């Protein structure tokens, strides 16, 4: 097994998240049988409300990658509109599956799992945006 699967496995091996061992293997591209198993285990249930926004009063954490080409980061803000107890974090220079690409995202997620009602410290995202080199040779951080 090579390529993307090897990278995902390295993330699993180094991640300290309690759900990593079950969640991440299900995402591997070599496991299309995951979907077949779901079809065999569960009977499809048509829902007339499938297009209505989800509502919940539970604490919710919404993570988005700023340069995600699969799910635009603005969709996180849209999803958050009906979730009053949410914290939405956009990770600069991050793509789809930001939890796989960013230690900062993993740390925030782990803190949220450990204390779902606590406040989260997203200050680590400030280090994720590279500075911009201007024509005069000076470096300036981009705003978050």
CB-CB contact of 91 with 117 (8 Å): no
Predicted pLDDT of residue 54:
84
Predicted pLDDT of residue 4:
47
- Please tell me the number of Cα atoms within 13 Å of 34 on its side-chain side: 11
Predicted pLDDT of residue 2:
45
- Where the chain has pLDDT below 70, the residues are 1-37, 143-144
Predicted pLDDT of residue 108:
93
- DSSP conformation letters of 13-71: HH---TTHHHHTGGG-TT-THHHHHHHHHS-----TTTTSPP---S-EEEEEETT-SSS
Model pTM greater than 0.75? no
Torsion of CA 26, 31, 34, 37, to 10 degrees: -150
Predicted pLDDT of residue 127:
82
Residue 115 CA to its chain's centroid (Å): 18
Query: Tokens 């991440």, residue?
Result: 24
CB-CB contact of 28 with 35 (8 Å): no
């Amino acid at each position: 097994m090579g390529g993307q699967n090897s990278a995902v496995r390295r993330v699993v091996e180094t991640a300290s998240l309690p759900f990593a061992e079950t969640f991440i293997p299900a995402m591997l591209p070599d496991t299309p049988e995951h979907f077949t198993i779901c079809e065999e285990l569960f009977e499809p249930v048509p829902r007339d409300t499938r297009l209505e926004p989800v509502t919940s009063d539970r604490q919710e954490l919404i993570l988005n990658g700023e340069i995600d080409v699969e799910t635009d980061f603005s969709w996180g803000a849209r999803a958050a509109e009906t979730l009053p107890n949410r914290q939405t974090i956009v990770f600069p220079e991050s793509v789809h599956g930001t939890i796989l690409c960013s230690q900062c995202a993993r740390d925030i997620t782990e803190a949220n799992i450990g204390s779902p009602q606590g406040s989260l410290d997203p200050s680590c995202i400030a280090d994720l945006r590279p500075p911009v080199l201007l024509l005069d040779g000076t470096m300036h951080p981009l705003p978050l």
